[in-house]
Chain A
Amino acid sequence: MAEMKTAAYICKGCELGSRLDAASLVKIATKEGKMNLVREHDFLCSADGVALIKNDIDNEGVTHVAICACSRRAKTEAFNFPANAVSRGNLREGVIWIRPDTDAARETTQEMAEDYVRMACAEVKAMKVPEGNQNTGGVKTLLVVGGGISGMTAALEASKAGYKVVLVEKTGALGGMTAKLYKRIPTREPFKAPEDNGIADLVAQIEADANIKVYLNATLAKTSGAPGRFKVEIAVESGSVATEDVGAIVQATGFTPYDMNKLPHLGGGQANVVDQAGLEALAKAANGGPIKRADGKEVKSVVFVQCAGQRDTSGEHLQYCSGHCCNTSIKQAMYFKDSNPDIDTVVLFTDLRTPGNGEDFYRSAQNKGVIFSKGVVSNVSANGGGCKVKFKDLILNEETETDADLVVLATGMVPTSGPDLDALSEATRAAEGGDEAAKEQVVQMKSKSVLNLDYRQGPDIPQFKHGFNDSHFICFPYETRRTAMYAAGPVRRPMDTVQAVEDATGAAMKAIQAMENAGLGKAAHPRAGDLSFPTARLEGCTQCKRCTVECPFGAIDEDEKRFPLFNESRCRRCGTCMGACPVRVISFENYSVNTVGAQIKAVDIPDEFSEKPRVLILACENDAYPALDMAGMNRYEYDAFVRVIPVRCLGSVNTIWITDALNSGYDGVMLMGCKHGEEYQCHFVKGSELGRYRMSKVYDTLKGMNLEEERLMDLEVAITDIETLPKKINDYAAKIVAMGASPFKGL
């Protein structure tokens, strides 16, 4: 690349020109920012303004561009110079929109703007132009694991979008659980009667599709590589192994019903008690005629027990609601009523939950004469030729009982998600320590693996709550913590077939995106399109392994010399490795310890007698920074003493930034990151948690520096905290003022 030539552009549009002293900003960019070229413009994001920048790049040899105008989240299409390093000074949302337009405020507002110009200049000089990951694979074949309704849908959708698919199914036939259903919950108007399960049609489509290659009776023996260049070894029935190259993976391995033998008090294991899957088998055998029990007796009365071993608070059974079972019981009750309206069908529920259009379905069942009773079943016992169901009627508030020829237990969904990686690594550690029982446990856990990933971080996708393969419930449902691997259907969360179809379609689309991005050397969600990737100066590496252990996405392996080995295509560019590195050898071309460090140092720190404190805010770019921008859009004012630097994730915050800031005279540092823990909202799953853990260690350093603990503040921010955030900033700034100036000023 040509020699670095820097340019700063000061925009005077959106009232920036009238609120700020642009000439002074130009002077700052020239003298302090030491930009080779500084220009001002009345309306920088206009065609004319953009042409100005473009011209400088093309004809003046400008390589590094500092745009001092609006937030980096605004006007991204106008200021899109992918071949250049670009920084943004946030003078609009970050300065004039959050400051009052008064004479009294003018001075501090101008100081704020000047600092942001200094920071933008300093940042861009520390940046390099991302050249993109060269180590890419261009395989555009999708691997779908599981041939149920989710897997088949994902395969068909990908094929329709023009991609080749390899579909691996463990059993000898496609269809999965849905194929075992006599009928399914209605999917279209008027939602009144069970409908055909639709599997035959899907299977026919798959068989007729030349893009889809199906392996039956097959499992994954080994999956290695990275997005865009996975190599999978497929163990087929004959014992031989087939190898396929794939670019992304959709895991649609579904669920198994919760084992009803664990519910002896509800009759699990008794002759005339079945689970919902068992009833489907009986209904299938009856095929519209009278439904008969295993012993051949025609069922004249049936009781459905909802939430059997689900929503359990004792910790013994499933804690969650599987979502489909109320609708399923309604459907199954209709099997009986449709064959003979005189059959007594009672559904015992505590809360009848009918998501989707289930309410119409529920009403239809009531119309058909299915009795719904709110009650908790305490016991199911054999009674003569049938069962006696004891329950507490919650409406009439009494213990009562009823007899039935057959009892159906609505047990929940248990995901086929492979072993829990945390438990596995713990067992592995114990096994390495020589524990014989643990060794057996490791073998047993590994045998349950679905993907058999050749990843340092474990053989499967990490699990979220209750063993489901998910990662970001709120914002990005299909994403998992393994790049280019997407979970779809009940392996992700409990769901019915309608939701599974939707889920599979979404996962297939995300997988296609991931393959395409991997081929271009770009990041996947949430920094989709980012060309930067982490690199390490290995000569400085101490092999502490923090990066390999902490990477939330399993992107980093260790090479044979035990140095970190980055799999760039697996990386999501969160920078957690960079934040973790104690010797600071990891960096991105456009984001590094230096790009942020330079900004921190660029801020002008007034002396201790000025009564102008400085508070550094390191704000997560996914939630906190947009919230601050939106506060600006709403003209919520906040303190002029703060200087905000966006970070990719709290996890990327290196403690050196904090100590450097406090050492150089900042009076306080505020960290803004997402909620962590069980209900986390961090886009990088573990990033904010790891960041916070690291920060907890900084307090010791503060003590060593004889600084008050309050000089570092950690704030949990959600993107919706638009109104409250300015107040919290002001409160903190007031606290810092009350505390007095940092003793490190001017040193």
Chain B
Amino acid sequence: MSDMNQQMTARYKNNFLKEIEEQAEMGDWVKMCMQCGVCSGSCPTNFHGGWDHPPQELFMMIRAGKRDEVLSSNSMWQCVSCYNCYVRCPRKVPITHVMHGLAEYAYRLGKAPKGQPTQHLSKTFWDNATKYGRVNEVKLTQSLYFKDGIGSGIKKALEMQSMALGLVKAKRLNPMEAVGGGHKCKDLKGIHAMLAKARELEAKRKGRQPA
């Protein structure tokens, strides 16, 4: 159990709804759900790929205090951010954002399902973007291809060879970016300072130790 998880369990005891309201982004919207199910009916994924719970059910579980089940659910990682539920919700609950807020919080607590592909992409993307202040597409692609080892990485790269060459020809992809650090933004220090400050502000707002 992570430190933060212990800290939060101790702080909120059995009041999981309150925990979500205070700790997860947009979590204070959960109580406004009226269980009409329009979000679930609107989801274009049709819950293929094995959603553990549809959105409104997840919200009900939060109210019912099912902490472990909610935080370790794969549902919020399955959301494709199409915003259909958000647009259609008669209570105007920003469901897409709530789902992302829950995902982020579960990850922070170390409760998110391990090896979940969306989670891997998010993490990779974030690290990539924050390291040099801009997204290095070659490195991002590389780290995604080689996620499961050298063999499968080469295989995937060969499969995508013609597209890559096309992109290079059209000057949309520069292979030289793979060499060394690649492009950096002009004020890298400034970016890092901004991110640190944002983290500090968030921690303060949510009453927890800066990560």
Binding site for B on A (CB under 8 A): 352, 362-363, 366-367, 369, 371-374, 393, 395-396, 400
Segment 87-145 of B: residues with Cβ below 8 Å from A: 91
Are A393 and B60 in contact, with the CB atoms below 8 A? yes
**B residues near A362, Cβ cutoff 8 Å:** 34
Contact A373-B63, Cβ < 8 Å, known A363-B91, A395-B57, A396-B57:
yes
Are B64 and A400 in contact, with the CB atoms below 8 A? yes
B61 sits at the interface (CB 8 A):
yes
Binding site for A on B (CB under 8 A): 17, 31-32, 34-35, 56-57, 60-61, 63-64, 66, 91
Are A396 and B31 in contact, with the CB atoms below 8 A? no
Q: Which of B32, B63, B64, B91 has the most CB of A within 10 A?
A: B64
**A residues near B32, Cβ cutoff 8 Å:** 363, 366-367
Which residue in B34, B60, B91 is a CB contact (below 8 Å) of A396?
Answer: B60
A371–B85 alpha-carbon span in the complex (Å): 22
Which residue in A352, A363, A367, A371 is a CB contact (below 8 Å) of B63?
Answer: A371
Are B31 and A369 in contact, with the CB atoms below 8 A? yes
A374–B17 alpha-carbon span in the complex (Å): 17
**A residues near B61, Cβ cutoff 8 Å:** 396
Interchain Cβ contacts under 8 Å between A and B, 29 examples: A352-B34, A362-B34, A363-B32, A363-B91, A366-B32, A366-B34, A367-B31, A367-B32, A371-B17, A371-B31, A371-B63, A372-B34, A372-B35, A373-B60, A373-B63, A373-B64, A374-B35, A374-B60, A393-B60, A393-B64, A395-B35, A395-B56, A395-B57, A395-B60, A396-B57, A396-B60, A396-B61, A396-B64, A396-B66
Identity of the chain A residue whose Cβ is nearest the Cβ of B33 in the assembled complex:
A366
A668–B75 alpha-carbon span in the complex (Å): 69
Q: Which of B17, B57, B63 has the most CB of A within 10 A?
A: B63
A363–B34 alpha-carbon span in the complex (Å): 9
A367–B34 alpha-carbon span in the complex (Å): 12
**A residues near B57, Cβ cutoff 8 Å:** 395-396
Besides A366-B31, A393-B60, A396-B61, 17 new A-B residue pairs in contact (Cβ under 8 A), listed by A number: A352-B34, A362-B34, A366-B32, A367-B32, A369-B31, A371-B17, A372-B35, A373-B63, A373-B64, A374-B35, A374-B60, A393-B64, A395-B35, A395-B57, A395-B60, A396-B64, A396-B66
Identity of the chain A residue whose Cβ is nearest the Cβ of B17 in the assembled complex:
A371
**A residues near B56, Cβ cutoff 8 Å:** 395
Identity of the chain A residue whose Cβ is nearest the Cβ of B69 in the assembled complex:
A396
User: Closest Cβ of chain B: how far from A593's Cβ, in Å?
Assistant: 59
User: Closest Cβ of chain B: how far from A304's Cβ, in Å?
Assistant: 15
A282–B32 alpha-carbon span in the complex (Å): 28
User: Closest Cβ of chain B: how far from A405's Cβ, in Å?
Assistant: 16
**A residues near B64, Cβ cutoff 8 Å:** 373, 393, 396, 400
A393–B66 alpha-carbon span in the complex (Å): 13
User: Closest Cβ of chain A: how far from B26's Cβ, in Å?
Assistant: 15
**B residues near A373, Cβ cutoff 8 Å:** 60, 63-64
A373–B61 alpha-carbon span in the complex (Å): 10
A89–B56 alpha-carbon span in the complex (Å): 64
